[in-house]
Structure 1
Amino acid sequence: MTLVAKLLILAIAGQVLLTIIILVLMGRERVPRVMSGEIPLQDIAVERTAYPLKARLLSNNFDNQFQLPVLFYVAALLALWAGITGWPIVIAAWAFVVLRYVHAAIHITTNRVHQRLAVYATGLAVLVILWLLVLFPILLA
């Protein structure tokens, strides 16, 4: 396996790690509140509004990790499958992952929506570039 293929796999692992980190942080915010009885189960059975803001932000961010990143996983796995893992693809993949970490950090701390949107939009643009870098070699082969 080439170095660039390994680096692409590490980018995938980096995105998976972010999802797990957010899940753990969310659990640390939510589980103790439910276990102590501070938040009754029936209050969270259908919606999250009973949780404090920090827990809701983490929960929303966790949901975000199953939106754009799903398209990232597909593109990265398609690149690996097709054997087209060059430096541009690896750089785009890592740029996307780094932007997801920045997005998550903004989301679960200050939650400045304009900053978060700018990082999200940049990540989306990088994801589009990644898809183009993966699709063109496959379709033109």
Structure 2
Amino acid sequence: MLQTLIAPMAAHVALAATLYFLLTIARAPVVWGIGRGADGSNPWAALEPRISANLSSQFEWPVFFHVACLIFFQIQPDLIAVVLAWIFVGGRVLHSAVQIFTRNIRLRGIVFTVNFIAVLGLWLVAVLTIGNGSVI
């Protein structure tokens, strides 16, 4: 069952790598002159700060997700932990899309809340599992 927690962790790493790639593309017109508009402008100028902000957020609350998953490397994760991990990752992908491509703060807050609760749930399962000395 351990491999099932490695997969969502790797998926989150892949999301962060994708955001680095997108940020490189968005900055290319300014940094390397590649993809500049005919007038010398950066066609990605509006998205670049959103991508950058979203990438930064991948190193905030998600740290608690990765730590919780590492705890489960020491104990046997159950189906609840696996489901919560995938909810978190799916929510992070959705959160990234909402933050980068829309200005809908309310929707972004709702999606973040789902991610937040999923990680709290992972921690709750870990604490209860360790506290009971067995898998829930």
Considering the TM-score relative to the shorter chain, is it more than 0.5? Answer: yes
CA contact (8 A) 1:61 1:104 kept: yes
- Normalization by structure 1: what TM-score? 0.83
Counterpart code for 2:52: S
CA contact (8 A) 1:57 1:108 kept: yes
CA contact (8 A) 1:84 1:134 kept: no
2:68 to 61, 64, 75: 75
Output the CA distance in 1 between the equivalents of 2:59 and 2:103.
Answer: 19
Output the CA distance in 2 between the equivalents of 1:112 and 1:17.
Answer: 25
Q: How many residues align?
A: 125
Alignment of 1:14-29 (within 5 A): 14-29=11-26
Instruction: Give, in angstroms, the shift of residue 21 of structure 1.
Output: 0.4
Output the CA distance in 2 between the equivalents of 1:131 and 1:31.
Answer: 40
Alignment of 1:1-141 (within 5 A): 4-36=1-33, 52-80=45-73, 82-141=74-133
- Identity among equivalent positions (%) equals 28
- Normalization by structure 2: what TM-score? 0.86
Instruction: Give, in angstroms, the shift of residue 110 of structure 1.
Output: 1.1
Match of residue 40 from structure 2: none
Q: Which 5+ residue runs of structure 1 have no aligned equivalent?
A: 39-50
Instruction: Give, in angstroms, the shift of residue 32 of structure 1.
Output: 2.9
Output the CA distance in 1 between the equivalents of 2:103 and 2:118.
Answer: 22
Counterpart code for 1:122: V
Output the CA distance in 2 between the equivalents of 1:139 and 1:53.
Answer: 49
Instruction: Give, in angstroms, the shift of residue 17 of structure 1.
Output: 0.4
Output the CA distance in 2 between the equivalents of 1:15 and 1:137.
Answer: 24
Instruction: Give, in angstroms, the shift of residue 8 of structure 1.
Output: 0.8
Which structure shows the higher helix fraction? 1
Q: Which 5+ residue runs of structure 2 have no aligned equivalent?
A: 37-43
Instruction: Give, in angstroms, the shift of residue 136 of structure 1.
Output: 1.1
